[in-house]
Amino acid sequence: MTRDRLHDFVAVGVGPFNLGLAALTEPIAELDGVFLEARDAFDWHGGMMLPQATLQVPFLADLVTLADPTSRFSFLAFLKETGRLYQFYIRENFLPLRREYNRYCRWVADELPAVLFGRSVTAVEHDGTAYVVTAATGEVFRGRRLVLGTGTAPRVPAGLENVGIHSSDYLHRKAELQATGSITVVGSGQSAAEVYADLLADQPAHGYALSWVTRSPRFFPMEYTKLTLELTSPEWSAHFQGLPAQTRARVQAGQAALSKGISAETIDAIHDALYARSLDDDLDTTLLTATEVTGATRDGAGWRLGLRHTETEEEFALRTDSVVLATGYAAGVPAFLAPVRDRLRLDDRGRYLASATFSVDHEGREIFVQNGEEHTHGFVAPDLGMGAMRNSVIIAAMLGREVYPVEKRIAFQEFGVPDRLRLTEVAR
């Protein structure tokens, strides 16, 4: 592909969100898009594909269903074509296995010729008419618009940049970890819990000491009640967007249990495993809450982790041979956008300033972002259930009309002050 062809949009990065956009735009004749992915095949969190791990959202939060339940790219269509629909029905569990979801996404990608793998983007420029996207292969793609779905990168706390591995690489380096005499997991969310549970199950066969350190005051469950789930609604996102930036940051800080907790089932399974093991073993495991890692220094072949208890303020240390950092992910602005950085709307911290339509350019109609707008749109930005709705909005912004109707109100509760309850000047 060369400069001769002008696409309606070029999408960079093919994770679930841009793959969903590819599926939803496939039947729209007015939109011609191309999707570029650096990897050679679709692979979603490959380092955390634990055998029994499930998504934390129901199967309806697939690539397309919440926008178009009739799409041929739905998870149920995948199950039917692969002969697994009745097995999934009998299983009576709305949460797909993570490995199964990954296979589903690969199935969708294989059906979409506009999705091109092995195209690492090296630069994005603007030639006065269109965005010019250059891939490492030497190919050049031109588009009137950009859709950025480059995802998030592993977050590593300051001072721990060269310490251990990130949980995103866990399964790829599990054998290496288990060959050491002691392993410490750092983190408080679902990934940390899953890694700890997996290592705990294998501990008797390998004999390593196992520790879990979390800054959180407890191993808290993710809040998953129905009225709380209404915060994944379009009206909550609109309410959040309307708040001042400082207020948004304060609100986000109080929402850890909505997106960064652990499933109650995982917490209970870990306790049950510890209880069963305690009958026969001297448990060689340490669980530390309200404990932050302040730094790390080399200690022989391993590490000496500096620790601080956030409640007693006591400084202490833990010696470990290996470390798994389950410390989450963070969005950023890719370096290849440097030539068009002046076209981006960024805040004082260099983050995207996304509009209600997820545009991040000054004109508000040329560059769109997928999962880079948590600070402007709320904690649901990385939620798989958000993808179909966000893509519906982006498609509507591109075409000037709604192809997939976007629900404006789904919650029973109010998130701001209802007009009917506002104080009038007379009432005051």
| Cα–Cα distance for residue pair 139/426, rounded to 1 Å | 66
**Cα-based torsion angle of the residue sequence 100, 102, 104, 107 in order, rounded to the nearest 10 degrees:** -130
- Residue-averaged pLDDT of the chain: 94
- Beta-strand ranges (E) seen in 31-138 are 33-37, 115-117, 121-126, 131-135
Angle at 27 between CA 113 and CA 371, to 5 degrees: 75
The rounded distance, in Å, linking the Cα atoms of 428 and 74 is 53
List the Cα angle 226/231/233 in 5-degree steps. 100
**What is the full DSSP assignment across 413-428?**
S-SS--GGGSPPTTT-
pLDDT above 70 for 264: yes
User: Average pLDDT, stretch 132-161?
Assistant: 95
Report the 10 Å Cβ neighbour count for 332.
13
Contacts of 237 (CB under 8 A, 6+ apart): 377, 378, 380
pLDDT at 234: 87
The structure tokens listed for 361 are 């350019």
| Residue range 417-427: mean pLDDT, rounded | 78
Write the pLDDT tens digit of every residue in 199-223.
999 999 999 999 999 999 999 998 8
Structure-token pair, residue 216: 């959180």
pLDDT for 1 = 45
Taking 90 as the threshold, does the pLDDT of residue 258 lie above it?
Answer: no
The mean pLDDT value for 111-116 works out to 98
Higher-scoring residue by pLDDT: 342, 260: 342
Q: Which residues pair with 147 in a beta bridge?
A: 11, 368
Q: Give the pLDDT of residue 30.
A: 95
Tens of pLDDT, residue by residue over 354-393, are: 999 999 999 999 999 999 999 999 888 999 999 999 999 9
- The model's pTM is 0.93
When computed from its CA atoms, the radius of gyration of the chain, rounded to whole angstroms, is 23
Q: Is 156 helix (H, G, I), strand (E, B) or coil?
A: coil
> What one-letter code names the amino acid at 27?
P
Whether 6-152+331-399 and 165-222+260-325 share one fold: the answer is yes
User: How does pLDDT run across 6-26, given as a tens digit for each residue?
Assistant: 999 999 999 999 999 999 999
Q: What are the pLDDT digits (tens) for 38-72?
A: 999 999 988 999 988 999 899 999 999 999 999 99
Query: Which pLDDT value is given to residue 425?
Result: 52
Q: State in words which class domain 165-222+260-325 has.
A: alpha beta
Fold (topology level) of 6-152+331-399: FAD/NAD(P)-binding domain (3.50.50)
Predicted confidence (pLDDT) at residue 281 exceeds the cutoff of 90: no
Residue pLDDT, tens place only, 310-365: 999 999 999 999 999 999 999 999 999 999 999 999 999 999 999 999 999 999 99
pLDDT at position 291 over 90:
yes
- 321 close to 314: Cβ distance less than 8 angstroms: no
Helix residue ranges per DSSP H, 254-386: 256-259, 264-278, 374-377
Listed by start position, the domains of the chain span: 6-152+331-399, 165-222+260-325
pLDDT at residue 224, as a whole number: 86
Q: Which residues pair with 361 in a beta bridge?
A: 344
Instruction: Give the rounded percent of residues in the chain with a pLDDT score beyond 90.
Output: 86
What is the rounded average pLDDT of the residues 401-409? 93
